[in-house]
């Protein structure tokens, strides 16, 4: 039996004494009709910013104009100050000699070739898995998938997919190490602890933070979640 109350996933500021920490799911809901319709966020994912914590969806989603692609963020993600996501509307056409977006200026510049006829594709959705940590001022480019349990180093530029439980850093970001070997990472993904009831996650915190994969699997068996 847990003696302390569980964190409230619907609280924008889960730590009232630390307003720089903002839960993104309730923040998105609070925006109402102003919320970007092409963004979804899982429970307990937070953004940490001493000045602009509540401005994440306005300041940190770059060039989210047309809404043609989605940003999907999983549960229990942690984003440091300035972590940002680039959307495909930032792209320029590369088919001809010039990359300049003449059509955006309208008038004679758009008369023979409106901006809608420029040859570029919106691309795939950007996906951030569960339990992902993105460091300060990192930039995630459009169409990237960041795997579950991954870590993105500060000021990295993520231009390609990141494997589950990998640590990436640099510009462009590259895998610098694996948090777990591929086989163990697959076992963690199979457990899917982020989808457990929050009461069970609270009981699992010691195993999640200090335990091994085997110990977390044993906790799951003790909870009747996996075959013995």
Q: 10 in a domain, yes or no?
A: no
Question: Are the C-beta atoms of residues 146 and 162 closer than 8 Å to each other?
Answer: yes
Alpha helices in the chain (DSSP H): 24-30, 56-59, 108-111, 182-191, 198-210, 213-222
Q: 154 in a domain, yes or no?
A: yes
Does the annotation count 92 as an active-site position?
yes
Q: 31 in a domain, yes or no?
A: yes
Q: What is the pLDDT of residue 130?
A: 98
Q: 66 in a domain, yes or no?
A: yes
Q: 105 in a domain, yes or no?
A: no
Question: Are the C-beta atoms of residues 175 and 167 closer than 8 Å to each other?
Answer: yes
CATH assignment at residue 62: 2.160.10.10
Domain with 137, as residue range(s), is 21-90+123-180
pLDDT in tens, 107-159: 999 999 998 898 877 789 999 999 999 999 999 999 999 999 999 999 999 99
Region 51-57: what's the mean pLDDT?
97
Q: What is the pLDDT of residue 187?
A: 97
pTM for this prediction? 0.95
Q: What is the DSSP string of 120-179?
A: ----PPEEE-SS-EE-TT-EEPTT-EEPTT-EE-TT-EE-S-B-TTEEEETTTTEEEEES
Q: How far apart are CA 166 and CA 149, in angstroms?
A: 7
| Domain total in the chain | 1
Region 16-32: what's the mean pLDDT?
97
Indicate which residue of 52, 92, 130, 148 is catalytic.
Answer: 92
């Amino acid at each position: 039996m847990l003696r302390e109350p569980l964190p409230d996933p619907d609280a924008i500021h889960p730590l009232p004494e630390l307003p720089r920490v903002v839960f993104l799911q309730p923040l998105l809901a609070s925006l109402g009709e102003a919320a970007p319709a092409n963004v979804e966020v899982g429970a307990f994912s937070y953004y940490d910013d001493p000045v602009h914590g509540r401005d994440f969806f306005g300041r940190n989603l770059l060039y989210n104009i047309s809404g043609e692609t989605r940003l999907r963020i999983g549960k229990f993600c942690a984003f440091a100050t300035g972590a940002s996501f680039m959307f495909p509307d930032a792209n320029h056409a590369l088919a001809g000699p010039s990359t300049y977006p003449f059509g955006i200026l309208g008038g004679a510049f758009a008369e023979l070739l409106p901006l809608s006829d420029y040859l570029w594709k919106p691309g795939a959705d950007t996906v951030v898995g569960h339990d992902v940590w993105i460091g300060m001022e990192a930039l995630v480019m459009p169409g990237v998938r960041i795997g579950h349990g991954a870590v993105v180093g500060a000021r990295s530029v993520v231009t390609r997919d990141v494997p589950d439980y990998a640590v990436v850093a640099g510009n462009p970001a590259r895998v610098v190490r694996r948090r777990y070997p591929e086989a163990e990472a697959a076992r963690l993904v199979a457990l899917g602890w982020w989808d457990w009831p929050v009461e069970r996650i609270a009981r699992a915190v010691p195993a999640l933070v200090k335990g091994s994969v085997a110990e977390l699997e044993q906790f799951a068996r003790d909870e009747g979640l996996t075959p013995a």
